[in-house]
Amino acid sequence: MVSRLLLATERRAIIGLAGLYASRMLGLFMVLPVLALYAEGLDGATPLLVGLALGGYGLTQAILQIPFGLLSDRIGRKTVIAGGLVLFLLGSVVAAQADSIAGVILGRCLQGSGAVAAAIMALLADQTREQVRTAAMAIIGLSIGVAFAVAMVVGPLLASAFGLSGVFWFTAGLAAVSLIVLWRLVPKAPQRLRHRDVGLDRRQLKSMLGRTDLLRLDLSIFALHLVLMAIFIAVPFRLLDAGIAVQQHGSVYLAVMALAFVAMVPLVIVAEKKRCMKPVFLTAVAGLMVCLVGLGMASTWWALVGLLLGFFTAFNLLEATLPSMISKLAPAGAKGTAMGVYSTSQFLGAFLGGVLGGALAQHFGQDAVFYGCGLIALVWLAVVWGMPAPRHLASEVVALDERAHGDALDTLMERFAEVAGVEDVLVVPEERVVYLKVDRQRLDSDALARVAGSRHDHKGA
C-alpha cells in the first residue's frame, strides 16, 4: 500500500493552488455586501445595472470555464491559469478606476473571464497521487468556504475605509500576488493527464445532461446562487434601515457567518454519518424559503440578523452537501463531467440572480426581491421534493498494477464488480486506473486489494 502521507511537492501544490482559488473567490465576493450601497456615487447607476454588475462575472465564468479547462489540456495548466489571473487583475483595475456603473460592469465581466477553476483543479490532480487527491480536493473546498466568509467581513471594512475602488484595488493586489505564488510556489506538473474524477470529458456530457437526478442538483446550485446574488441588492439597505451603520456591517456579517458555520457543522454530520441526506437537504431548502420571506417582512435589527443567520446556515449547509450528493450520484468515472455541468449552473445562477434582483428592486421595490426569491425557493423545493434519497456511495480510484494488460484488462471489470460493496466500475486502460463507486459499509477492502494487484493504491471521495 502506497503511503497516504503528503509528499513535499504535493504539499506545496495544495497550499499554493488552494491559495490561488481562495484569493480569486475572495476578490469576486468582497463586493457582494457593498456594491449596492456604494454604487450611488457611480454615473448611470440603477438597481438593475447594479445587479448586472454584481452577477456579471457569472456569465463570463459560465461561458469560459469549460473551454479554459480543455485548453489547459493542450497548452499547459500554468499557462492557462496565469492568463486567467491576468484577466482577473485587468478586470479589477478597470473596475477600480471606473466612475460609472458601466465601467464596473465591464470590470466584473473581465474578472469572470479569468475562468481558471477547472484548470486549477486539473493541475492539482496532476500534482497529487490518487490516494491523497480526496484530501487535496477537500482542502480546496474548505478554502472556498473560508474565502466566502472572509469576503463578507473584509469587503465592508475595506469599502468603509477606502471606498468601492479600494475593494477592487485590493482585489488587483491579490491577483498580482497569486501570479507570484503560481510561478514560485506551485511546482511544475510532471505531465498533463486527463482525470475523469476532476476534469470534463466531452464524450460523457450528453449522458450527464440526460440524468434527471443530476439535473435536480444542477437546478439546486443554480437557484442557491441566484437567490444569494439577488438578495444583496436589498440586504445592505435593510441593515441601514434597521439602524446598523455602514461601518458596522462587517461586524454583523462576521457574527452571522461565524455562527452559521457552527450551526451548519452538526447538520452536515447528521446528513453524512446518519445517512439522512435527503431530509437534511429538503429541510435546508425549506428553511431558506422561510428566511427569504421573513427578510421581506423584517423591520427590527434583531429579526433581520436572526433571519440572515438562518439564511446563511441553510446556504452553507447546501454549499457543503450538494457537491457530496453529486459525487454520490455520478456514475463511476464521470464525477468530473458532472461537476463541470454543476459549476456552470452555479455561475449562470449568479448572473441571473444579479439581474433578477436588480430588476425586482427597480420596478417593485426591495421587498419584492425577497418575496421573488422566496417564490423561486418554493419552486425549487417542489422540484426536488420527490427525488429519491441518494445512495451513500463513495468514489474510489484504483491504480492498476503495471503487469495488468491484455486479457487481464479484458476481465478486470467483471472481477472488480464481484467484490462485495462495489456498485459500479469503469476501467480506463490508457490511464491505468479503475474508477469505482462503492458502499463503504459493505466494501471488502482486502478483496479489492487482491483484484487490483500487489502494487496498487486507492483513494476515496
pLDDT more than 90, % of the chain:
55
Q: Is the pLDDT of residue 1 over 50?
A: no
pTM listed for this prediction: 0.90
The mean predicted confidence, pLDDT, of the chain is 88
Dihedral angle at the C-alpha atoms of 331, 335, 336, 339, nearest 10 degrees? 120
Confidence of residue 204 (pLDDT cuts 50, 70, 90): confident
pLDDT for position 58: 95
| Residue 189 confidence (pLDDT) | 66
Q: Identify the pLDDT of residue 445.
A: 82
For position 195, what pLDDT does the model report?
Answer: 65
Grade residue 409 by pLDDT with cuts at 50, 70 and 90: low
**Residue 459: predicted pLDDT:** 42
In this predicted structure, which of 117-121, 148-152, 214-218, 294-298 has the lowest mean pLDDT? 117-121
pLDDT band for position 461 (cuts 50, 70, 90): very low
Does the pLDDT value for residue 172 go beyond 60?
yes
Please give the domain boundaries of the chain with CATH numbers for all domains: 1-199 (1.20.1250.20), 210-392 (1.20.1250.20), 394-460 (3.30.70.100)
**Above 70 in pLDDT, residue 262?**
yes
Average pLDDT over residues 14-29: 91
Buried b (16+ CB within 10 A) or exposed e, 351-362: bbbbbbbbbbbb
Question: What pLDDT, on a 0 to 100 scale, did the predictor assign at position 403?
Answer: 55
Confidence of residue 329 (pLDDT cuts 50, 70, 90): confident
